């Protein structure tokens, strides 16, 4: 790394959890290949067939619970513990593998598989079971729970906080994301415009690869621990 970073923003995507056995979205064997996105990842799809959508996320929740963090998640956990500067970890992932890999301050901009959201009283609850059987909300008792997931056409969580962090970052690192979905795909430009160095760690070049100062290609379980070692050694 050219200069010692003091303020890092990291964005992760499905690629960081691929080696934990969770499928990515846009690969040939990806999640969206099995399901039309409109069906399972939009409010309209949910209104049309709530049972199908609840089953889809019940499955995702079970898979998340069965998965284990890999060395990439663990390296970011170590970075959070040992890095002396500012660090914000933003993930598009709905799994909790960053947290189980030791990171405690994770911003889930697309929601969380292990959370349920009551549309009647707006409460959110940690959730490990199923939703297809229509459980009542622990707060208000209504049967109105949906996955706490940001679907296409909905506003990602905590955008203001993320944009503030991007404006203050001196290093932006994108890990395991295809750069196909906005607003996350635009973070590299925003960080770059504010003067941050930008680094991409991915299996293949992403859609916005040309926006990055540096791209390293390979598996997250190798690239991420390597990069974390570099940052901590420099500090
Ligand atoms: N190591 C590093 N990168 C990997 C690995 C790996 N082991 N395996 C796959 N990748 C890369 C792929 O090459 C691809 O560029 O991870 C990326 C995954 O891209 P997507 O499947 O498009 O996932 P993501 O970018 O997280 O998708 C963004 O789209 O529909 C949604 O809401 C969903 O949060 C998701 C968003």
Q: Does residue 71's CB lie within 6 angstroms of at least one atom of ligand 1?
A: no
Give residue 199 CA to ligand 1 midpoint distance, Å: 16
Question: Which pLDDT score, from 0 to 100, does residue 33 have?
Answer: 76
Does residue 52 register a pLDDT over 50? yes
Report whether residue 176 contacts ligand 1, using a CB cutoff of 6 Å: yes
Q: Is the pLDDT of residue 1 over 80?
A: no
Q: Average pLDDT of 48-69? A: 97
70 lines ligand 1 (CB under 6 A): no
Residue nearest to atom 4 of ligand 1 (CA): 15
Ligand 1 binding pocket includes 177 (Cβ within 6 Å) = yes
pTM of this prediction?
0.97
Beta strand spans in 67-190 (E): 86-91, 106-108, 111-118, 124-126, 145-149, 171-175
Over residues 41-52, the mean pLDDT reads 96
**5 has a pLDDT exceeding 90:** yes
Given a contact cutoff of 8 angstroms between Cβ atoms, the answer to whether 11 and 92 are in contact is: yes
- Please name the helix (run of DSSP H) or strand (run of DSSP E) that holds residue 37, with its range, or none: helix 37-40
The pLDDT, as a whole number, for residue 121 is 98
Q: Summarize pLDDT for 192-206 with one digit per residue, the tens.
A: 999 999 999 999 999
Q: Given this model, what pLDDT does residue 235 score?
A: 79
What does each C-alpha distance from 86 to 42, 59, 212, 229 come to in angstroms? 35, 36, 21, 17
Identify whether 125 is a catalytic site residue. Answer: no
In which element (H, E) is residue 101 found? none
The reported pLDDT for the residue numbered 2 is 53
Q: What is the pLDDT of residue 159?
A: 98
Q: Per the residue annotation, which of 98, 110, 125, 210 is the catalytic one?
A: 110
Nearest protein Cα to ligand 1, atom 8: 15
Q: How confident is the model at residue 146 (pLDDT cuts 50, 70, 90)?
A: very high
Predicted local distance difference test score (pLDDT) of residue 136: 97
Is the pLDDT at 69 greater than 90? The verdict is yes
pLDDT tens per residue, range 81-92: 999 999 999 999
The whole-angstrom separation of Cα 153 and Cα 175 is 24
């Amino acid at each position: 790394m050219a200069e010692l970073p003091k303020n890092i923003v990291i964005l992760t995507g499905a690629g960081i959890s691929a080696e934990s056995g969770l499928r990515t979205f846009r690969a040939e064997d990806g999640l969206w290949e099995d399901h039309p996105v409109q069906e399972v990842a939009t409010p309209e799809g949910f209104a049309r067939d709530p049972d199908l959508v609840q089953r889809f996320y019940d499955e995702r929740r079970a898979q998340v619970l069965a998965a284990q963090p890999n060395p990439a998640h663990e390296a970011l956990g170590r970075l959070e513990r040992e890095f002396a500067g500012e660090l914000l970890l933003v993930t598009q992932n709905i799994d909790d593998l960053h947290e189980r890999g030791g990171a405690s301050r994770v911003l889930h901009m697309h929601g969380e598989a292990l959370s349920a959201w009551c549309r009647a009283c707006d409460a959110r609850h940690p959730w490990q079971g199923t939703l297809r059987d229509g459980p009542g909300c622990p707060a208000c008792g209504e049967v109105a729970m949906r996955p706490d997931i940001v679907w296409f056409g909905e506003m990602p969580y905590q955008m203001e906080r993320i944009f503030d962090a991007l404006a203050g970052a001196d290093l932006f690192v994108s890990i395991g994301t295809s750069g196909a979905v906005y607003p996350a795909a635009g973070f590299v430009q925003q960080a770059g415009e504010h003067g941050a160095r930008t680094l991409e760690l991915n299996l293949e070049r992403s859609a916005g690869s040309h926006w990055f100062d540096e791209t390293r290609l390979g598996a997250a379980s190798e690239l991420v621990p390597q990069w974390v070692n570099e940052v901590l050694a420099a500090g």
